[in-house]
Amino acid sequence: MHLIGIDIGGTKVSICLGDVHGNIISHQHIKTLHLGGPKEGIKRLLKQIDLLLDAHNMHINQIDGIGLALPGPLSIKDGILIAPPNLPGWINVPIVHHFQKHLDRPIFMNNDANAGALAEWMFGSAKNVEHLIYLTMSTGIGGGIVLRGELLMGRSDSAGEVGHFVLDPQGPQCPCGQKGCFEVFCGGGNIAKMLQIKIRQGKKTKILDEAGRVENVDMKSLISAMQKQDPFAMEVWEIYIEKLAQGIGILLMVLNPDAIILGTIAMYTPQELMMTPLLAALPRFTWSIPLKQCRIEASKLGKKIGDLGALSLAINGLKTL
C-alpha cells in the first residue's frame, strides 16, 4: 500500500512517497516561499507529486491515500486552510477539494503538530502509549494530543494549540493577537526576531559573531554563543528554559500524559543544554506525581518527523474508510 505525504512547514515543503509501515521510499524538498499564492502553489505541489511518481514509474492510481500536514489555523472538517501566517494570501483555501479534484485519491488533512503526534504514536519512542503529547519546537510552538490512539481535536479543531495559551498577559505581543503566548517566549522565530532587535539596538554579544549577519541570527547562533559562555546568550537561554518548563508544567497538570515528546529544537540541542535544565526546572511548575509518571524526551525521529507525520495522517485516515 503506497501513500504520499506532503508536509508544509515554515521554511520548507516536503513531498514524500512511502508506505503504511513508515518506510519513506523517496522525498523532495522545495522552499515554502517558492509556493507563492494558492493558485500557483497548488499547481507546484501537484507538479512535484507527478515528478515523484514518474521517478518511480508509478501512476497516481497506485497511491492509496495522501496525507497533508499543514500549518494552522485550518478547518479539518471543511478541508480549508483558513489563514496560515507562513503562507501569505492562502486565505480560506479549500485545499482538500483542489487535491481531490486533480488526483481523485483519498485526502487526509490536519495540522503539522497533530501529524507529528500521530507519527510519534505510530513510529516513535513512545509508540502506542495511552496518552501522548507532541510539541513542535521550531519556528513556532504547536502541540498534538493522542488519546488511546485517537487525535484529540476539540469542537473547532483547535485542541492542542498550546503555543497560544498565555503564560504572561503582560508579555510581548504575539502575531496571533494575544500577549505573552507560550510561542512568544519559546518559538524559534520569535526568539530570533527579539535577538535581532536587541543586536540592532547595540547589544554586544557573541550571537552575532556566530551568525555572521544580523539577518542570520537564529536559535542555532544563540545556542552556539551560549556554549561559548556569552553572558547575554546565557541569560536569554535561562529565560527560554524557564518559560518552556512553565508551559510543559501546565500540560502535565491539565492532561497528565504518559509521554511528552519534544520536537526540532530539543532534537538538535545537546541534552546538557536542553533536557537537563528543563527537567531540573519542571518541579517548580507541576506536582511530582504527574511529573514522575510522564516520559519527557526529545523526539528520536529526527528529520523524518515531517514526512512520517504526513504519512501517518494518511494511514490514520484510511482506517476510517
C-alpha distances (whole Å) from 228 to each of 42, 46, 194, 223 are: 44, 46, 20, 9
SS (H, E, C) the chain: CEEEEEEECCCEEEEEEEECCCCEEEEEEEEHHHHCCHHHHHHHHHHHHHHHHHHCCCCHHHEEEEEEEECCCEECCCCEECCCCCCCCCCCECHHHHHHHHHCCCEEEEEHHHHHHHHHHHHCCCCCCCEEEEEEECCCEEEEEEECCEECCCCCCCCCCHHHCECCCCCCECCCCCECEHHHHHCHHHHHHHHHHHHHCCCCCHHHHHHCCHHHCCHHHHHHHHHCCCHHHHHHHHHHHHHHHHHHHHHHHHHCCCEEEECHHHHCCCCCCCHHHHHHHHHHCCCHHHHHCCEEEECCCHHHHHHHHHHHHHHHHHCCC
pLDDT bin (cut points 50, 70, 90) of residue 248 is very high
CATH for 2-116+304-318? 3.30.420.40
- Residue 10 above 80 pLDDT? no
CATH number of 127-299: 3.30.420.40
pLDDT(155) > 90: no
pLDDT digits (tens, 9 = 90+) for 83-95: 887 788 999 999 9
Domains 2-116+304-318 and 127-299 share a fold: yes
Give residue 12's pLDDT: 87
Calculate mean pLDDT across residues 130-141. Answer: 93
Domain ranges in the chain are: 2-116+304-318, 127-299
User: What percentage of the chain exceeds 70 in pLDDT?
Assistant: 100
Task: Express each pLDDT in 216-244 by its tens digit.
Answer: 999 999 999 999 999 999 999 999 999 99
Per residue in 293-317, pLDDT (tens digit) is 999 999 999 999 999 999 999 999 9
**Tens-digit pLDDT profile for residues 12-63:** 899 999 999 999 999 999 999 899 999 999 999 999 999 999 999 999 999 9
